[in-house]
Structures are given as C-alpha cells and as structure tokens.
Amino acid sequence: MLKKMNLPNKLTMLRIFLIPIFVVFMCLPTKLEWAKYVALAVFIIASITDFFDGYISRKNNLVTKFGKIMDPLADKMLVASGFILIANSGIIPVWIAVIIVVRDFFVTGLRNFGADKKEDLSASLSGKIKTIFQLLTIILAIIGTYNFGDFITKSLTMTPIELLVNIGMTVSVVAAVLATVWSLIDYIARFKDTVKVDE
C-alpha cells in the first residue's frame, strides 16, 4: 500500500505510526527522565510531518481523497493522545482534554456529512490556529515540571526558565480552549446545511 502513496500521504502514515511510540514513552515511569525527552522528540517529529504533508500536497497538487480523510484524522489522533496523557499526569485539568477530544469527534462527524455532499474538507483558519496552540500546549507541558497555572502560586520557587515555560503553557492552554470552541462554531456554521436528519 505504501508504494502506491504519494509523499504527503506517506508523511501522514508516518505520523500515525509515531503516535503509539509517543504514548509508550510518555507512559514509562517518571523516574526515567530520558523517556520524557524521547517522547518529546517523537511528538515534535510527528507535528512537523503535519506541516510538511499539507505544504507538499498543496504546492505540488498532490491532494488525494485518502489525504483529505486521513490527514485530519492523524492530527486528531496525535492531539487527543497528547491531551489525554498530560491530563492523566495532572498537568492540565481533565475537562480541558474532554473539550478537545469531544470537539474533534463532533467535527469529524460534520466532515463526514460534508464528504458525502462533496464539500470542501480542507482545514479552516480556525482549525489551523487551534492545532497550533494545541501542539504548543502539549510540547510545553512535556518540557515543563509544573502544572497548569502554577506560576500564579509557585512563581517564587521556579527558575526563570520554569516560570517562562509554565506561563507559556498556561497561555497556550487557554488559547487552545478558546480556539477549539471558535473552531467548533466555525465548522458547525460551515457544514450545517449538509446535515440532513431526514436522510
């Protein structure tokens, strides 16, 4: 199957392949400090493939039906895995991960209605901004040693770098939630006419 794929689709499949590797290293005991950095490296590589598969497919007109379906699905799998893991670690509140994951399931459903009607399934601006903040949140959460909002009460015990990372993560979490809600409303408006409950 891989031999028949173009480069963007291969990058999408690489991203999917990297997700379980990321999960395994994130789930290793916390005393294995090196595992966190392996997980971080894997996550960053997977995130980079997200940029390049879209860029290459648009630049070289390699957009395929497979890519339209699997690329956003791979993004959602990566982001959902990251948010579930950092929520499970107590870095962010669980309700934030729930909002992220539920939104992605709902939008996937809307996009399926759009696919049936041959609508444009490309990512919207709100979706791209949402993804950027979500990926940034996960990266900073892995790098940091403190939980969401800890800079408010623990700033005096943090080093300048820890403080900067925690503030950055907290801001990116808030931005990710706001962008997620914005994106959800945007997609509902975009695909509302394709949902026919009587069909």
Tell me the average pLDDT of the chain. 87
What's the CA dihedral at 3, 9, 13, 14 to 10 degrees?
A: 90
What predicted TM-score, i.e. pTM, was given to this entire model? 0.88
Asked whether the predicted pLDDT for residue 167 surpasses 90, the reply is yes
Asked whether the predicted pLDDT for residue 134 surpasses 80, the reply is yes
pLDDT value, residue 117? 59
The predicted-structure confidence for 93-131, as pLDDT tens digits, reads as follows 999 999 999 998 888 877 776 665 565 556 678 888 999
The three-point CA angle 178-79-88 to 5° equals 90
pLDDT value, residue 33? 86
* 20 close to 80: Cβ distance less than 8 angstroms: no
pLDDT value, residue 110? 77
The predicted-structure confidence for 1-28, as pLDDT tens digits, reads as follows 556 788 888 899 999 999 999 999 999 9
Tell me the domains of the chain and their CATH numbers: 2-193 (1.20.120)
Q: What average pLDDT does the segment 62-75 reach? A: 82
DSSP state of 25: H
